[in-house]
Amino acid sequence: MALAHHGLAILSNGAGRWNFLSKARGLYCLAYKNLRDEQGQGCMDPLLLPLLAHAILNNLAQCYASLDDEKNSVACFELLLRSIILFQLDQKKTFNFGGRDDCSFNDPSTTCFLRNTLFLILKDPGFAPAA
């Protein structure tokens, strides 16, 4: 339902757009809350759960941005980024990518990913990549 309202908002303008975005936002919030409840009960596939959370957070952040709510949009995008990083590190450990026993920061793909995104999480200009 949230995705349907979000899609209708994209096709609409004026007050109809705002109404559809508001409904989509509420439904995405509800979907995220339900997903977190499912996680606590252990009822969902542990691989599917974070992927659904990533999709919901991304769409929720887009709704907030379209509604000119920058504070909540940025908060959702930051949570999404942290979640992606944790998911990536956890999957390397779980599936033992590369045939190694360690899941250290010595892996080139992890190092590159962290180098390119860590400054977004830490928000310290000293950590920003050189231009």
Residue type, 95: F
* pLDDT score for 41: 76
Here the contacts of 17-23 (C-beta below 8 Å, separation 24 or greater) are 17/66, 18/67, 21/63, 21/66, 21/67, 22/67
Structure tokens belonging to residue 38: 């499912």
pLDDT at 71: 94
pLDDT at residue 103, as a whole number: 44
CB-count exposure of residue 110 (10 Å: 0-12, 13-18, 19+): middle
**How would you write the pLDDT of the chain (131 residues) with one tens digit per residue?**
998 999 999 898 888 899 999 999 999 999 999 888 877 677 777 778 888 889 999 999 999 999 999 999 999 998 888 888 788 777 655 444 444 444 445 556 666 666 666 666 666 545 444 44
Q: Distance (Å, rounded) from C-alpha 63 to C-alpha 20?
A: 10
Give the SS3 label for residue 56: helix
pLDDT for position 48? 80
pTM for this structure? 0.69
- Position 49 scores a pLDDT of 83
The Cα 63–Cα 26 span in angstroms is 10
pLDDT at 81: 86
Type of residue at 90: D
